[in-house]
Amino acid sequence: MADLTTAPDHGPAAGAHPVDHTHATATGVSNAKLAMWAFLGSECLLFGALISTYMLYRHRSVSGPVPHQLYDIPFTSVSSFVLLMSSLSMVLALSAIQRGDEQRCRVWLATTALLGATFISGQIYEFTTFIRRGMTIKTNVTSGAFFVLTGFHGVHVTLGIIMLLSLVGLSIRGKIPQSKAEVIEIAGLYWHFVDIVWVIIFTIIYLIP
Protein backbone atom coordinates (compact mmCIF):
# COMPACT_ATOMS: atom_id res chain seq x y z
CA MET A 1 0.00 0.00 0.00
CA ALA A 2 2.82 2.29 0.73
CA ASP A 3 4.11 1.97 -2.79
CA LEU A 4 0.95 3.24 -4.34
CA THR A 5 0.95 6.45 -2.50
CA THR A 6 2.83 8.55 -4.86
CA ALA A 7 4.48 11.58 -3.56
CA PRO A 8 6.68 12.17 -6.51
CA ASP A 9 8.10 15.36 -5.30
CA HIS A 10 9.30 13.94 -2.06
CA GLY A 11 11.99 11.66 -1.03
CA PRO A 12 15.28 10.99 -2.72
CA ALA A 13 13.99 11.22 -6.21
CA ALA A 14 13.20 14.84 -5.88
CA GLY A 15 16.15 15.61 -3.73
CA ALA A 16 18.13 17.23 -6.44
CA HIS A 17 15.45 19.62 -7.40
CA PRO A 18 13.98 22.38 -5.34
CA VAL A 19 10.97 20.62 -4.12
CA ASP A 20 7.59 21.75 -5.27
CA HIS A 21 5.93 20.49 -2.18
CA THR A 22 2.85 19.74 -4.09
CA HIS A 23 0.47 18.04 -1.78
CA ALA A 24 0.34 14.38 -2.32
CA THR A 25 -2.61 13.60 -4.47
CA ALA A 26 -3.99 10.66 -6.35
CA THR A 27 -2.53 11.92 -9.59
CA GLY A 28 0.57 13.61 -8.28
CA VAL A 29 -0.47 17.01 -9.55
CA SER A 30 -1.21 19.79 -7.14
CA ASN A 31 -4.77 20.60 -6.19
CA ALA A 32 -4.38 24.32 -6.53
CA LYS A 33 -2.77 24.05 -9.93
CA LEU A 34 -5.46 21.70 -11.15
CA ALA A 35 -8.08 24.10 -9.88
CA MET A 36 -6.51 27.00 -11.72
CA TRP A 37 -6.36 25.09 -14.98
CA ALA A 38 -9.99 24.08 -14.59
CA PHE A 39 -10.87 27.69 -14.00
CA LEU A 40 -8.89 28.80 -17.05
CA GLY A 41 -10.69 26.22 -19.17
CA SER A 42 -13.90 27.80 -18.02
CA GLU A 43 -12.64 31.28 -18.83
CA CYS A 44 -12.13 30.20 -22.44
CA LEU A 45 -15.89 29.88 -22.73
CA LEU A 46 -16.34 33.31 -21.18
CA PHE A 47 -13.99 35.17 -23.47
CA GLY A 48 -15.11 33.08 -26.40
CA ALA A 49 -18.64 34.37 -25.95
CA LEU A 50 -17.45 37.94 -25.76
CA ILE A 51 -15.20 37.60 -28.78
CA SER A 52 -18.00 35.97 -30.76
CA THR A 53 -20.36 38.76 -29.82
CA TYR A 54 -17.87 41.20 -31.24
CA MET A 55 -17.44 39.15 -34.38
CA LEU A 56 -21.18 39.02 -34.83
CA TYR A 57 -21.63 42.73 -34.39
CA ARG A 58 -18.51 43.86 -36.17
CA HIS A 59 -20.39 45.10 -39.23
CA ARG A 60 -23.85 45.50 -37.87
CA SER A 61 -23.71 48.98 -36.54
CA VAL A 62 -26.41 51.30 -37.63
CA SER A 63 -24.74 54.60 -36.88
CA GLY A 64 -21.90 56.26 -35.11
CA PRO A 65 -18.17 55.76 -35.29
CA VAL A 66 -17.00 52.18 -35.12
CA PRO A 67 -13.77 51.02 -33.49
CA HIS A 68 -11.96 50.39 -36.73
CA GLN A 69 -12.24 54.03 -37.65
CA LEU A 70 -10.62 55.11 -34.45
CA TYR A 71 -7.89 52.54 -33.80
CA ASP A 72 -4.37 53.71 -33.25
CA ILE A 73 -2.64 50.53 -34.23
CA PRO A 74 0.91 51.63 -33.47
CA PHE A 75 -0.15 52.61 -29.99
CA THR A 76 -2.01 49.38 -29.37
CA SER A 77 0.87 47.38 -30.80
CA VAL A 78 3.17 48.87 -28.22
CA SER A 79 0.60 48.08 -25.56
CA SER A 80 0.41 44.50 -26.74
CA PHE A 81 4.15 44.20 -26.72
CA VAL A 82 4.22 45.52 -23.18
CA LEU A 83 1.75 42.87 -22.08
CA LEU A 84 3.74 40.15 -23.80
CA MET A 85 6.86 41.29 -22.00
CA SER A 86 4.97 41.19 -18.75
CA SER A 87 4.53 37.48 -19.34
CA LEU A 88 8.28 37.23 -19.65
CA SER A 89 8.86 39.04 -16.38
CA MET A 90 6.23 36.82 -14.77
CA VAL A 91 7.97 33.67 -15.82
CA LEU A 92 11.31 35.08 -14.71
CA ALA A 93 9.76 35.73 -11.32
CA LEU A 94 8.76 32.10 -11.14
CA SER A 95 12.17 30.98 -12.24
CA ALA A 96 13.74 33.12 -9.54
CA ILE A 97 11.63 31.73 -6.72
CA GLN A 98 12.19 28.21 -7.94
CA ARG A 99 15.88 28.89 -7.48
CA GLY A 100 15.18 30.28 -4.05
CA ASP A 101 15.86 33.88 -4.95
CA GLU A 102 13.05 35.62 -3.14
CA GLN A 103 14.41 39.08 -3.73
CA ARG A 104 14.66 38.67 -7.47
CA CYS A 105 11.24 37.10 -7.54
CA ARG A 106 9.83 40.20 -5.94
CA VAL A 107 11.57 42.40 -8.44
CA TRP A 108 10.17 40.48 -11.37
CA LEU A 109 6.71 40.33 -9.83
CA ALA A 110 6.75 44.06 -9.33
CA THR A 111 7.95 44.48 -12.89
CA THR A 112 5.09 42.37 -14.12
CA ALA A 113 2.63 44.44 -12.16
CA LEU A 114 4.19 47.59 -13.51
CA LEU A 115 4.03 46.39 -17.10
CA GLY A 116 0.47 45.33 -16.52
CA ALA A 117 -0.34 48.73 -15.13
CA THR A 118 1.28 50.28 -18.17
CA PHE A 119 -0.95 48.20 -20.36
CA ILE A 120 -4.01 49.25 -18.39
CA SER A 121 -2.99 52.89 -18.61
CA GLY A 122 -2.71 52.43 -22.33
CA GLN A 123 -6.20 50.98 -22.36
CA ILE A 124 -7.57 53.83 -20.34
CA TYR A 125 -5.93 56.34 -22.63
CA GLU A 126 -7.31 54.53 -25.64
CA PHE A 127 -10.81 54.35 -24.23
CA THR A 128 -10.93 57.98 -23.21
CA THR A 129 -9.74 58.94 -26.66
CA PHE A 130 -12.51 56.92 -28.23
CA ILE A 131 -15.08 58.41 -25.93
CA ARG A 132 -13.89 61.90 -26.68
CA ARG A 133 -14.17 61.16 -30.35
CA GLY A 134 -17.75 60.08 -29.97
CA MET A 135 -17.62 56.35 -29.51
CA THR A 136 -18.91 55.07 -26.22
CA ILE A 137 -20.18 51.72 -25.06
CA LYS A 138 -23.67 52.57 -26.18
CA THR A 139 -22.94 54.30 -29.47
CA ASN A 140 -23.66 51.17 -31.47
CA VAL A 141 -23.40 47.39 -31.20
CA THR A 142 -19.84 47.27 -32.47
CA SER A 143 -18.59 49.76 -29.97
CA GLY A 144 -20.61 48.05 -27.27
CA ALA A 145 -19.11 44.67 -28.05
CA PHE A 146 -15.66 46.25 -28.23
CA PHE A 147 -15.88 47.95 -24.86
CA VAL A 148 -17.43 44.96 -23.11
CA LEU A 149 -14.79 42.59 -24.44
CA THR A 150 -11.80 44.81 -23.76
CA GLY A 151 -13.38 45.95 -20.52
CA PHE A 152 -13.72 42.39 -19.24
CA HIS A 153 -10.15 41.77 -20.26
CA GLY A 154 -9.00 44.93 -18.52
CA VAL A 155 -10.79 43.96 -15.32
CA HIS A 156 -9.05 40.60 -15.44
CA VAL A 157 -5.69 42.31 -15.87
CA THR A 158 -6.43 44.67 -13.02
CA LEU A 159 -7.36 41.83 -10.71
CA GLY A 160 -4.12 40.20 -11.79
CA ILE A 161 -2.15 43.30 -10.87
CA ILE A 162 -3.77 43.37 -7.44
CA MET A 163 -2.91 39.71 -7.02
CA LEU A 164 0.70 40.32 -8.04
CA LEU A 165 1.10 43.23 -5.67
CA SER A 166 -0.38 41.13 -2.89
CA LEU A 167 2.17 38.45 -3.62
CA VAL A 168 4.95 41.02 -3.47
CA GLY A 169 3.63 42.11 -0.10
CA LEU A 170 3.44 38.56 1.18
CA SER A 171 6.91 37.84 -0.11
CA ILE A 172 8.29 40.84 1.72
CA ARG A 173 6.80 39.40 4.88
CA GLY A 174 8.55 36.17 4.17
CA LYS A 175 5.45 34.21 3.38
CA ILE A 176 6.64 33.01 0.00
CA PRO A 177 9.81 31.01 0.35
CA GLN A 178 11.15 28.68 -2.28
CA SER A 179 8.94 25.90 -1.05
CA LYS A 180 5.89 27.92 -1.93
CA ALA A 181 6.97 28.62 -5.48
CA GLU A 182 3.79 27.04 -6.66
CA VAL A 183 1.77 30.03 -5.52
CA ILE A 184 3.77 32.14 -7.94
CA GLU A 185 3.31 29.56 -10.62
CA ILE A 186 -0.44 29.57 -10.22
CA ALA A 187 -0.59 33.35 -10.27
CA GLY A 188 1.54 33.15 -13.39
CA LEU A 189 -0.89 30.80 -15.08
CA TYR A 190 -3.64 33.32 -14.59
CA TRP A 191 -1.46 36.12 -15.84
CA HIS A 192 -0.32 34.27 -18.96
CA PHE A 193 -3.87 33.33 -19.74
CA VAL A 194 -4.92 36.94 -19.62
CA ASP A 195 -2.04 37.63 -21.97
CA ILE A 196 -3.15 34.89 -24.35
CA VAL A 197 -6.63 36.35 -24.44
CA TRP A 198 -5.11 39.64 -25.46
CA VAL A 199 -3.14 37.89 -28.21
CA ILE A 200 -6.47 36.78 -29.61
CA ILE A 201 -8.20 40.08 -29.07
CA PHE A 202 -5.39 42.05 -30.68
CA THR A 203 -5.48 39.96 -33.82
CA ILE A 204 -9.20 39.47 -34.23
CA ILE A 205 -10.46 42.79 -32.99
CA TYR A 206 -7.72 45.15 -34.02
CA LEU A 207 -5.78 43.70 -36.88
CA ILE A 208 -8.35 41.83 -38.90
CA PRO A 209 -10.57 44.23 -40.78
Partner 1 sequence: MALTATPELGSGAVRPAPRFFKRPRATTGVGSWFTSIDHKKIGILYGVTAFTFFLIGGFEALLIRLQLAQPNGKILTAAIYNQVFTMHGTTMVFLVIMPMSAAFFNYLVPLQIGARDVAFPRLNALGYWMFLLGGLFLYSSFVLGGMPNGGWFGYAPNTSMTYSPGHNLDFWIFGLLILGISSTIGSVNLIVTIINLRAPGMRLLRMPIFTWMTLISSFLLLFSLPIITVALFLIMFDRQWGTHFFDPLGGGDPVLWQHLFWLFGHPEVYILILPAMGMVSEVMPVFARKPLFGYPVMVFSGVAIAFMGFGVWVHHMFAVGLGPVATSAFSVSTMLIAVPTGVKIFNWLGTLWGGSLRFRTPLLFAIGFVIMFTVGGLSGVTHALVPADRQQTDTYYVVAHFHYVLFGGAILGIFAGIYYWYPKIFGQMLDERLGKWHFWVTLVGFNLTFGPFHILGLQGMPRRIYTYPKGMGWDFWNAVSTFGAFVIAAGTLIFLYNVRRTDKLRLPVPADPWDARTLEWITPCPTPEYNFLETPTVHSVDEFWHRKYTEDDNGRLVKVADSAQFIERLATEDDHIHMPSPSYYPLVAAIGLPIICYGQVYRLWAVSIVGLLVMISGFYAWAIEPGTEPPDPDELDGVGGGSHGAALELPAEGDQAELGRGEPVSVGAGAADAGPGPEPSASGSGGASGGGDPALPGGDTRGVGEAGFPGDPTLSVDDVDL
Partner 2 sequence: MASTPDVVDEDAALAAEAALEVRHHHPSDRTYILVALALGVLTAIEVGLYYLKSNKSITVTLLVLMVIKFVIVAAFFMHLRFDSKIFRRLFMIGVFGASTLYTIVLFMFGVFHV
Q: Where does this chain bind partner 1 (CB under 8 A)?
A: 1-2, 4-7, 10-11, 21, 23-27, 29, 31-32, 34-35, 38-39, 41-43, 45-46, 49-50, 53, 56-57, 60-62, 137-138, 140-142, 144-145, 148, 152, 166, 170, 173-177, 179-180, 183
DSSP-assigned letters across all residues of 18-46: ----PPP-SSSS-HHHHHHHHHHHHHHHH
Tell me how many degrees the CA angle 200-204-206 measures, rounded to the nearest 5: 105
Instruction: Of 66, 5, 195, give the one whose Cα is nearest residue 119.
Output: 195
Out of partner 2, partner 1, none, which partner does residue 204 contact, by CB within 5 to 8 A per kind? partner 2
Q: Which residues in this chain contact partner 2 in the complex, by CB under 8 A?
A: 1-4, 6, 8-9, 13-14, 16-17, 19-20, 22, 26-29, 33-34, 37-38, 40-45, 47-49, 51-52, 55-56, 58, 73-74, 77, 80-81, 84-85, 87-88, 90-92, 95, 98, 185, 188-189, 192-193, 195-196, 199-200, 202-204, 206-209
Out of partner 1, partner 2, none, which partner does residue 208 contact, by CB within 5 to 8 A per kind? partner 2
- Provide the residue type at 22 as one letter: T
DSSP-assigned letters across all residues of 93-109: HHHHHHHT-HHHHHHHH
Query: CA 102 to CA 29: how far, in whole Å?
Result: 24
